[in-house]
A and B are shown apart, each in its own frame.
Chain A
Amino acid sequence: MKVVVDFDLCESNAVCMEIAPEVFEVRDDDFLYVLEENPGEALHDKVRDAADRCPKQAITLED
């Protein structure tokens, strides 16, 4: 699984960080940082949930 964020869409709502803090972090500068572009299998459910719950639908998961 590869995590791709469309930064033109992302508005740093930080929902992804709530669900999968191992992978997503919104820092004090209000920008989203992807900590793990290729998260391990144990994180896949969380990352899928994070992609679903992104209000801007800015997170895409590639196989």
Chain B
Amino acid sequence: MSDIVAPRIVIVGASLAGVHAAQAIRRAGSDATITLIGDETDQPYDRPPLSKQYLAGEWDADKLALRPSKDPESLGVDWRLGTDAVGLDLDTRTVRTLSMADGADEIGFDGLVIATGARARRLPGTEGVTDLHVVRSKADSDRLRAAVDDRGGPIAVIGAGFIGGEVAATFRSQGHDVVMIEAADAPLTRVLDAEAGMLVAERHRAEGVDVRLGVGVEGFEIDDHGDHQHVRGVRLGDGSVVEARTVVVGIGAIPNTEWLGGSGLELDNGVRADSTCLAAPGVVVAGDVANWDHPRYGRSMRVEQWDNGVDQGGYAGRRLLADLAGEPAPEPFGPVPWFWSDQYDWKIQFAGVSGPTKETVHGDPAEGRFAQLYLDVDGAPCGVLAVNRPRHAIKGRQALTAGASVEEIRDTLA
């Protein structure tokens, strides 16, 4: 193989999945050249604290650095930060880029990792409304922190998902008045179930958050000061108006695939890929943007979770090396998903996927320390929810991975 020059690998997306792809390629001993393209100008950072410790002002920016890139030189990549990928041509095998500093460029590749993540979904029709915030980037978190420091509460959080819940908990814990507004009848029904969602809602209410469920947002009350405007309140679907000086919108995320339009890749809720994360010859996907055929669940999935970013990033890097070397693909990528959320003194962890029925297998939900097992339509174990029981979450994940029976999981988690 010595007559073959080192392959050129381009990684688009310099956050969790992209950085872990680069690390995996280096750890595999590859001599590939790696170009790592990221649209933000900051060195890669970790996002979970943006709605928690960093937003609270407890952590400074240094603490956010992603470990594999803490020493940017050590990764052995050509960094192209502050650079947008704006197009992909699979025939000429080039990525077109645009940056403030360097203008337009074209970067050729033999292998490509697509890890462009997702961006925060915004409320339709709210362009130009001031004092509306999302929390996705460090800059978003900085702006929100500054706005709350400047204008104080009340703070309205629209969407009672994990980001909304964490932001509400962070500000409520600092003594601000917080109202949380959710269109569904319970929080977290997209991920868990209504009963678990209501436990979380009640936890927020016990802290003094005004939780409004089953009601949508109609619009905003604006104070017009001539040269500038400020939000005064949020108008709800039931006709009521809740007072708010700062509004945080946490209603999900949209995969960043626009730059791939016309590339020939299949774009459907992210970038479609096979069970080994391969989207086309020499092209792999990882992280929030990846919609791959999940072998465990027999359907395509897109997983917006931290652990998946690390795991799938590494897998995609190795998968790409095998493809470039003409070697057999590794085993399909089929992990049991896992995530955590910290709200007040609750550590919520969930492994697997939700199902139509569930049972409490450990502890008591009323005491905020328990584990529950979800069963799928066939009555087989499919998910484990643990609150303030981290061992149970991880043991549950191991059992789900191993395909354990209901009885075995009951025993393990008792």
Contact = CB atoms under 8 A, between A and B. Distances in A.
A57 B67 contact: yes
A17 B394 CA distance: 8
A14 B67 contact: no
Interface in B55-81: 66-68
Given A30-B389, A30-B391, 9 more contacts: A11-B342, A18-B394, A18-B397, A26-B391, A26-B394, A30-B390, A52-B67, A53-B307, A53-B310
Contacts of B340: 13, 55
Interface in A1-38: 11-15, 17-18, 26-28, 30
Nearest to A28: B391
A54 B75 CA distance: 19
B48 interface: yes
Identify which of A11, A15, A28, A30 gathers the most chain B CB atoms within 10 Å of its CB.
A15
B108 to A, nearest CB: 30
B210 interface: no
Interface residues of B, number: 25
Contacts of B68: 52
A55 B390 contact: no
A26 B20 contact: no
Nearest to A57: B67
B214 to A, nearest CB: 32
A48 to B, nearest CB: 8
A53 B340 CA distance: 13
Nearest to B66: A57
Contacts of A11: 342, 347, 390
Contacts of A15: 307, 338, 394
Contacts of A52: 20, 23, 67-68, 310, 314
Contacts of A12: 390
Contacts of B221: none
B394 A53 contact: no
Given A18-B397, A53-B310, A26 B46 contact: no
30 contacts: A13-B347, A13-B393, A14-B390, A14-B391, A14-B393, A14-B394, A15-B338, A15-B394, A18-B394, A18-B398, A26-B390, A26-B394, A28-B391, A30-B388, A30-B389, A30-B391, A51-B67, A52-B23, A52-B67, A52-B68, A52-B310, A52-B314, A53-B307, A53-B310, A55-B48, A55-B306, A55-B340, A57-B46, A57-B66, A57-B67
